[in-house]
Amino acid sequence: MDANARVTELERTFVPPPRLSSSRPRSVELTAGGRVLTVVAVAIFGVAIAVGIGMSRAAGRDANQYRALVERGVMTTAYVTRLWQGGDDEGRRVRYRFTVDDRSYDAQTQVSSARRRTLTVGSPIDVRYVPDDPRINRVGPTPRRGMPLWAPYVVATGIAAIGVLCLFGINRQRRLLSEGRAAPALVTALKTQRGTHGEKHRSITYDFPLMSGAVASGKSSTSSKPPAVGSVICIIYDPECPKRNKAYPFDLVRPAA
């Protein structure tokens, strides 16, 4: 008996698990993993909001300071009081001090690697500052713009997108389990890959029969104890789009009790 004939024969004797024998759409509930992922998604949304608010405030502050330096800033001479060592960003940090109305102000900044090589403790540097608030100051005659006003929205949206992906994964499994058709599947291959941190990712490939009599193929992630090649498992597939299929049971949702 060839593989396709065997898969077709499985359909005749297949008995779905008890919770899958009910009519569709099935009632579905979250597993422990699904509940944890939901909490993670909500936490990510909270982080996105907090980061967006914090960065928006910082971007607004940078814009106000830049405007004040351009419109009201004056030049003075400061002197280097400390230089950091190292070959990375830390090594380009410079602390300096300048005096306005007999009061000293300390600040620090990062300079280019070329500029850093020309400086020693005590070296003079030009500083632009705001007379009514010298704490607002920048090295050089032309102040650099701070964080763009659009940056907080981009960063917050990117973080929130991770939460959306989490919920999308849950919803995808929910819809498939609720509306999908249970079918037997013949495991044809097992594949193990190592992640970037050495963790193992296992997946199985299988063939399963469709209601039309044709045989389709699918692939699904599996647990640390995967089924053997040649064994029969239960899968759920979308009758309208058989490419949407997954080995049962699912990790994020399950049939409601």
Q: For residue 31, what pLDDT band results from cuts at 50, 70 and 90?
A: very high
Task: Dump pLDDT digits (tens) for 160-212.
Answer: 999 999 999 999 999 999 999 999 999 999 998 877 776 778 899 999 999 88
Domain membership of residue 243 (yes or no) is: yes
Task: Dump pLDDT digits (tens) for 204-240.
Answer: 999 999 988 899 999 998 877 889 999 999 999 999 9
Residue 21: burial class (beta carbons within 10 Å; 0-12, 13-18, 19+): exposed
Which residues constitute the domain of residue 232?
1-24+181-257
Identity of the residue numbered 175: R
Domain membership of residue 88 (yes or no) is: no
Task: Dump pLDDT digits (tens) for 101-151.
Answer: 999 999 999 998 888 889 999 999 999 999 999 999 999 988 888 889 999
> What are the strands, taking DSSP E only, across 141-214?
181-194, 200-209
| Angstrom distance (rounded) from CA 230 to CA 33 | 29
Domain membership of residue 211 (yes or no) is: yes
Count up the domains in the chain and report the number: 1
Q: What are phi and psi of 206, to 5 degrees?
A: -150, 160
| Angstrom distance (rounded) from CA 131 to CA 138 | 13
Residue 1 has pLDDT above 60, yes or no: no
Among all chains, which residue has been given the structure tokens 């579905």?
28
Domain membership of residue 121 (yes or no) is: no
Domain membership of residue 109 (yes or no) is: no
Domain membership of residue 233 (yes or no) is: yes
pTM: 0.77
| Angstrom distance (rounded) from CA 3 to CA 55 | 59
Identity of the residue numbered 228: A
| CATH classification at residue 209 | 2.40.50.140
Domain membership of residue 9 (yes or no) is: yes
220 vs 98, 103, 187, 233, 249, CA distance in Å? 65, 69, 10, 12, 11
Q: Which residues contact 16 (CB under 8 A, 6 or more apart)?
A: 182, 234
Contact 8, 213 (CB under 8 A): yes
Length of the chain equals: 257
Residue 197 host element (H or E): none
Strands of 232-238's sheet, edge to edge? 215-221, 200-209, 181-194, 232-238, 241-247
159 vs 46, 48, 152, CA distance in Å? 10, 5, 11
- Long-range CB pairs of 97-105, under 8 A, 24+ apart, other chains included: 98/127, 98/129, 98/134, 98/137, 100/76, 100/129, 100/131, 100/134, 103/134, 105/129, 105/134, 105/135, 105/137
Domain membership of residue 45 (yes or no) is: no
> What are the strands, taking DSSP E only, across 61-214?
74-83, 93-100, 103-110, 124-130, 133-139, 181-194, 200-209
